[in-house]
Structure 1
Amino acid sequence: MGNNNRLRPLGAVVALALGVSALAGSAAAATTAVVAPLPLAESSPVGWASQSGGTTGGTGGTTVTVTSASQLADYASRSGSYVIKVNSTISLSSMTKVTSNKTIIGVGTAGRITGYGLNVNQANNVVIRNLTFTGSADDAINVQYSTHVWIDHNDLSNAYDGATDIKRASDYVTVSWNHYHDQNKNALLGHDDGNSSEDLGHLRVTYVHNWFDGTVQRNPRVRFGSPVHVLNNYYNGNSGYGVASTCNAGVLVEKNYFEKVEHPTVVQTGDSPEGNLRLVDNYLTGSGTAESRNASSVPNVPYSYSADSASNVKSVVTAGAGVGKI
């Protein structure tokens, strides 16, 4: 368990509004007072994307606003640092490449990506925030051969393939405050059982404060990555499974809220060999038994963090996940 450094202002605001303490393992007293003003979201990522230099995207670079697919493709593929604001519905005709040092962020609730999604390929330092992705004919967000990526406060649904696929030696990634719904395959981590030569020692990802809302599977589905941190997520009505650890991955599943999930965690799925999984203080209601395996072999994460208590996660996440909250 991490220390008591506050890295999640939104969790604190929501918890105070609900009259509960957002701090786990501290002496903070519960209160009914609403503390304001505080930012509604982190200004930097929690977890793995904060490590080894951090993830800032296009901060400090040129800021532009785009309203068409051609504009988005142009600026997203340029060299140099850009903050790219999306202020309309943009229909893509193919997966759009995102290069290093980019922030792609929706304006209010206006930023929508349809048709296809974003491809973060061989890039470093990318932030994707506050966008609605729906109806992609491929993935909504694909990350491969890339490092320091922050996927935050998005709404993701109805992608033909995956909502957020992270693979091929990608590393130092945080996936936070996203609302996944109307989606079968959600958060794939590691694309193939035979890719150990590239993936071992990589695929370090934090999934924190996401809402897996009636999604079927891969919430996430992990190969090889260790430790992968699944912290303070809300799962409801997931008909396949919640979290899967395979291919000798090491997954720490901590203080999540599982509601009406028959298989909250599994340690084998498909044709993949088993993975390792450690359970810490999760809250289950109307759900089946969570599986674990070789818990002592799952390493601790190297970063500091402070978690919401599992029983408060549903309220915190449903209030804070998705677009329009940053």
Structure 2
Amino acid sequence: MSAPQLRRRTVLSALSASVLAVGGLTVVGQLEASAAESSPVGFASLNGGTTGGSASTVVTVTSASALKSALSSSTSQTVRVSGLISISGMYNVASNKTVIGVGSGSGITGGGLNLSGVRNVIIRNMVFRNAGDDSINVQTNTTNVWIDHNDLANGYDGLIDIKRGSDFITVSWNKLHDHDKSMLLGHSDDNGSQDIGHLRVTYVHNWFNGTNQRHPRVRFGNPVHVLNNYYSNIGSYGVASTENAGVFVERNYFENVGSPTITQTGDSAAGNLKVLNNYRVNSGTEQVRNGASVAAIPYSYTPEANNTVKATVTAGAGTGKI
């Protein structure tokens, strides 16, 4: 199966109606911008693709108990989250699920979602607030995950952490703000035996607004594709490559970012990083290292021009845009 292209969508007016399939669920809504793919682009489109839960089995939840039950069910289904549901701890998500917020303000507060040893999960249009641990934790050889059009802020640890041999994942059109440690890829310097050859992730059209670090912070994964994201007012650094990872940072828009890319942080050994045509406004110099060791991107794509990324991402990232 050929991989679909990463592509820029035509910008629609705020009044333009759109009908699209979301993990098999048909959604009719108003698009404010160009930001809605009907299926994942990048790594989540490979390895058999990521389709999420069944369209014919749809459950709408409004309480913590109903949400927990629906997420952990072995049934392939679409779980519609209505309202901002308060939970405690991490709720496990089973394979073959689409989790989608209803409207622009639905999601969870106080806890997070845990994907461990599962396959084929889509998380879209969800608000995540005040998690006691991670907001979204992807771990233990989980594959084929699409995390798209969510609004994440003010958690305790990571907003979107991917680790322990997980693979074939796309993180797209999310808005991350008011937080320190945004996105970890690879949890530990001593986990190479499980992580090498995995942790292949596409980060595309995300908006990091006033966050501090880990956008992402990568160990071992190669290649990791960081494409057409908008970084605004970043505290510590943008993208970090460590532990011999291979990260390709391409046509992003950095604004008020002192260190757009770095090749070592903490106690980790250096990683490999190459850059191409990033757009920098009031931002520092990019660090690069051994770009020849960054593996080729294995899917076809057409990148957006770097100087238009800010407008596209700010119009389209976050909830209420699909």
Shift, 1:60, TM fit: 3.5
| Aligned equivalents of 2:54, 2:39: Cα separation in 1 | 11
**Structural RMSD (CA):** 1.7
Q: Contact 1:170/1:202 (CA < 8 Å) preserved in 2? A: yes
Structure 1: unaligned runs, 5 residues or longer: 18-35
| Aligned equivalents of 2:6, 2:196: Cα separation in 1 | 29
Matched positions, count:
302
Query: What is the SS of the residue equivalent to 2:257?
Result: coil
Which of 36, 51, 58 is 2:53 aligned to? 58
Structure 2: unaligned runs, 5 residues or longer: 14-30
Which of 252, 267, 283 is 2:279 aligned to? 283
Which of 268, 271, 274 is 2:267 aligned to? 271
| Aligned equivalents of 1:196, 1:60: Cα separation in 2 | 38
More strand by share: 2
The one-letter code matched in structure 2 to 1:231 is: L
Which of 184, 195, 199 is 1:188 aligned to? 184
Q: What does the per-residue CA deviation read over 1:136-176, in whole Å, with 9 as the maximum and x for residues that have no partner? A: 11110000021000000000000000000000000000000
The one-letter code matched in structure 1 to 2:232 is: N
Structure-1 residue corresponding to 2:204? 208
| Aligned equivalents of 1:123, 1:150: Cα separation in 2 | 13
| Aligned equivalents of 1:60, 1:131: Cα separation in 2 | 18
Shift, 1:110, TM fit: 3.3
Shift, 1:59, TM fit: 3.3
- 1:12 equivalent to 2:38? Answer no
Structure-2 residue corresponding to 1:323? 319
Large movers: runs of 4+ above 4 Å: 36-40
| Aligned equivalents of 1:130, 1:149: Cα separation in 2 | 14
Distance 1:313 1:122, change over 3 A: same
Q: Contact 2:177/2:208 (CA < 8 Å) preserved in 1? A: yes
Shift, 1:304, TM fit: 1.0
Shift, 1:112, TM fit: 2.1
Q: What does the per-residue CA deviation read over 1:56-87, in whole Å, with 9 as the maximum and x for residues that have no partner? A: 11034510100011111001101121100011
Q: Contact 1:77/1:97 (CA < 8 Å) preserved in 2? A: yes
Q: What does the per-residue CA deviation read over 1:187-225, in whole Å, with 9 as the maximum and x for residues that have no partner? A: 100000000000000000000000010110000000000
Structure-2 residue corresponding to 1:231? 227
Structure-2 residue corresponding to 1:177? 173
Q: What does the per-residue CA deviation read over 1:98-145, in whole Å, with 9 as the maximum and x for residues that have no partner? A: 010000000111312101010011110000000010111111000002
| Aligned equivalents of 1:219, 1:174: Cα separation in 2 | 14
Identity across aligned pairs (percent)? 60
Q: What does the per-residue CA deviation read over 1:293-324, in whole Å, with 9 as the maximum and x for residues that have no partner? A: 00111111111111111110000000000000
